[in-house]
Amino acid sequence: MPIDKNELLQANDQLKKKIGELNRAEQINRVLFRISNAVNITKDLDELFGEIHRILGVVIDLSNFYIAIYNKKSKRMSFPYFVDQFDSGDAYADQLNEQNSLSGEVLISQKGVLYKKADLLLRKAGNKIIGTTPETWIGVPLKIKADVVGIMSTQCYEDEDRFDLIDLEILNSVSDQVALAIERKRNEQALVVSEKKYRSIIERIEDGYYEIDLEGNFTLVNKALGKMLGHSHQELLGVNITGYMSGYSTEQLRESFTAVLSTNEPGKMLELELICKEGQKRYVETIVSIVCNDDGEPTGFRGIARDISERKKVEEEKEKFETVSRQLQKTESLTRMAGGIAHHFNNLIGVVMGNLEMVMDDLSGKEEKSETARILTLAIQASRKAVGISSLMLTYLGQTTGKHVPLDLSAVCRKSLTLLQREAPEDIVFVVDLASPGPIIDADLSQIQQVLMNLVINAWEASSSDKRKIYLTVKPISSADISGKNVFPFDWRPEEATYACLEVKDEGFGVVVGDIEKLFEPFFSSKFAGRGLGLSVVQGIAKSHNGVVTVHSKVGKGSIFRVFFPLSDLAVEPTVAKAGQSFFTEGRDTVLLIDDEQVMRNKEKAILTRLGFKVLLAENGRAAVEVFREHVNEISIVLCDLNMPDMGGRETLLILREMELAVPVVFTSRHSESKEMAAERSMFPQQVFLHKPYQKVELINALVRAMAVTR
């Protein structure tokens, strides 16, 4: 059967058309894929627009091409991408509306259009074209679902036949993919901007911010949290939060996670203990809330951690202060009670001693060897031991009675060293560094010697068998250099001044941290059972001298005990020669005896009478003023108790001196001589201090010292 040539040509045309359609379909598929991929390979919208232009330019002439974005709310169209031989996108943005432009027509119709020259000239005549009139123009809408979000257009200024319906079909085919790509990139870019803003906000807050996944691993932290934990915030990403918490805090946090997941509400305020990079602890307050994805499914937790370490420290210090305050109040109450008991005990034992001594004086020479004399001697010795026990208790309480005079601390230690070396074990070696001249302190000599003895005994008992050196140092030291750690009494605060430092150091066993505070408790010892009041007495003496004891110790390395005393403004006094009874002239000297306790007046009157004095008595300060006014020309000396009710000894003395400035005075008291009285002594040398209870020879010595200036 012969082949019809026309049919063959027709079939050939159809085949070519089919092949062309297949080629276009393949081209469109490639374009769609490349546009979809462009979202992933471009960093922003500008790059995406340029990539879309390049991809479409392979299949269509896009020498003049623009993408416009429509804002439905403001009803304005912007031209973020505009490439044209003659015009600019700014002009279009300024003049465009939905009625006067090609882009506006596409926007209204929501359909793609192809215009040739004739149509374009008619529109130009009707003012429906903005900018230069092209020979041909194609525009297609960009849609997301049913909404037009923009248009895509190309035009040619030289050839009316440059574009045809196939080109329009191609642009229509890819427009949805272009719109989707633009929308994705816009969302992606908006997310980046939002995250930057979010990051900027959380970095500006002073508190720590964190986000963690459901397993507790950090997914986002700010620099403040990193600094809090001792890491950079990058180092924390992926690390589990529980690695920085104590066990109790971890359990608290897990319970909060469970509650937040079940209620979908923020948890309650937690106080957590964090373990930082170097092992130090910090305390934070935090509230945990849930983080969900776009579908509302939980993906983790977030929270702000506020560092409350300083507040916690202040609260702990406050609690410690309140505890210390309660202890001080209790101690002060017990101290007053014990001091009162000791005061009355001393007065009574003083009466006993005075009467015993007078009985001894009454015995004849033959009777001094009798059984009665022996019993009296034992009684006097027992009385003196009782006074010693009372003094020891007062020393521990910091109410030590004693005579405070200016002392060279180095000289005292130097003179005591011979006795210390004799008493110490033979293998003990003393390494001595004593400032010369030494710092001058107002102190009781016997008590300073007691401090030195107790510290040295403690040092050699703490020394190990292979380390037998004891270091003794005396030096001045600034208050700024006195350690505030392990200070006893613990409520002591230094004045801004220079202090005298007595330091005793050993290389022995040392003391564990928990035992340091117990060292000054009576009868405490970490090595020996019931060693007495040694270090307790050291603390008491330091307290009575307005000083302090500090301790520094390491197990296996030894201990350093330092006692600090305020410096004196006075020079060291010359030694007073021993006075005898012959100094007084019987019946010539009159004593005004002032004491509020009758037993003391009776005892002291008896002793003074035996010494040859005429004695005038006064039971209080006001009575003393009257007696003194009446007998001012007779009275040679005043013996006055400092601590009397209503009008004390010092107030009484001030009035007496208005009548007779140079009257010699011996003050008596169970307390140590105050600084005020010591300073006044430099103005009135005939004023002497005598602590109770005292022996007859001590009274004689005090009277001699006071009256020596006027004789």
> Which residues have C-beta within 8 Å of that of residue 699, sequence separation ≥ 6?
604, 607, 666, 690
Nearest to 413 by CA among 450, 449, 443: 449
Residue 89 corresponds to which tokens in the numbers above? 């996108």
54 membership: H or E segment, kind and range: helix 45-56
Q: What is d(CA 182, CA 198) in angstroms, rounded to the nearest whole number?
A: 24
Cα–Cα–Cα angle for 689, 353, 573, rounded to 5 degrees: 25
Asked if 172 contacts 156 with a C-beta cutoff of 8 angstroms, the reply is no
What is the Cα Rg of the chain in Å? Answer: 52
CATH classification for the domain delimited by 205-307, as one of 1.10.10.10, 3.40.50.1820, 3.40.50.300, 3.30.450.20: 3.30.450.20
Q: Domain 22-190, what architecture?
A: 2-Layer Sandwich (3.30)
The CA distances from residue 542 to 394, 406, 477, 567, in Å, are: 12, 15, 16, 13
Q: What is the pLDDT of residue 576?
A: 43
Mean pLDDT, consecutive 10-residue segments, the chain of 711 residues?
63 60 64 74 82 86 91 84 86 61 87 92 86 93 89 93 89 85 83 76 82 90 85 85 85 88 88 84 89 87 88 84 72 66 76 80 64 79 73 64 81 85 85 90 88 89 83 91 81 84 91 76 52 72 88 89 90 50 59 91 89 91 92 90 86 86 84 55 65 80 73 52
Residue 455 corresponds to which tokens in the numbers above? 């510290």
User: How many other C-beta atoms can be found within 10 angstroms of the C-beta atom of residue 500?
Assistant: 26
Residue 567 DSSP symbol = B
Query: Which residue type does 485 have?
Result: K
Asked if 135 contacts 162 with a C-beta cutoff of 8 angstroms, the reply is yes
Residue 516 corresponds to which tokens in the numbers above? 């340091």
Asked if 236 contacts 265 with a C-beta cutoff of 8 angstroms, the reply is no
CA dihedral 501, 681, 636, 586 (to 10 degrees): 20
Residue 566 corresponds to which tokens in the numbers above? 């305020």
The two beta strands, 147-156 and 136-144, are: antiparallel
Q: If 0-12 CB within 10 Å is exposed, 13-18 middle and 19+ buried, where does residue 3 land?
A: exposed
Cα–Cα–Cα angle for 219, 222, 226, rounded to 5 degrees: 95
Q: What is d(CA 217, CA 672) in angstroms, rounded to the nearest whole number?
A: 68
Q: What is d(CA 493, CA 501) in angstroms, rounded to the nearest whole number?
A: 15
pTM for the complete prediction? 0.40
Residue 130 corresponds to which tokens in the numbers above? 């903005």
Residue 488 corresponds to which tokens in the numbers above? 């006893």
Please spell the DSSP secondary structure of 317-349, one letter per residue: HHHHHHHHHHHHHHHHHHHHHHHHHHHHHHHHH
Please, what CATH class does the domain formed by 581-708 belong to?
A: alpha beta
Query: Which residue type does 319 have?
Result: E
Q: What is the pLDDT of residue 530?
A: 36
Q: What is the pLDDT of residue 379?
A: 82
For domain 405-566, the CATH superfamily is Histidine kinase-like ATPase, C-terminal domain (3.30.565.10)
> Which residues have C-beta within 8 Å of that of residue 292, sequence separation ≥ 6?
298, 299
Residue 238 corresponds to which tokens in the numbers above? 């992926």
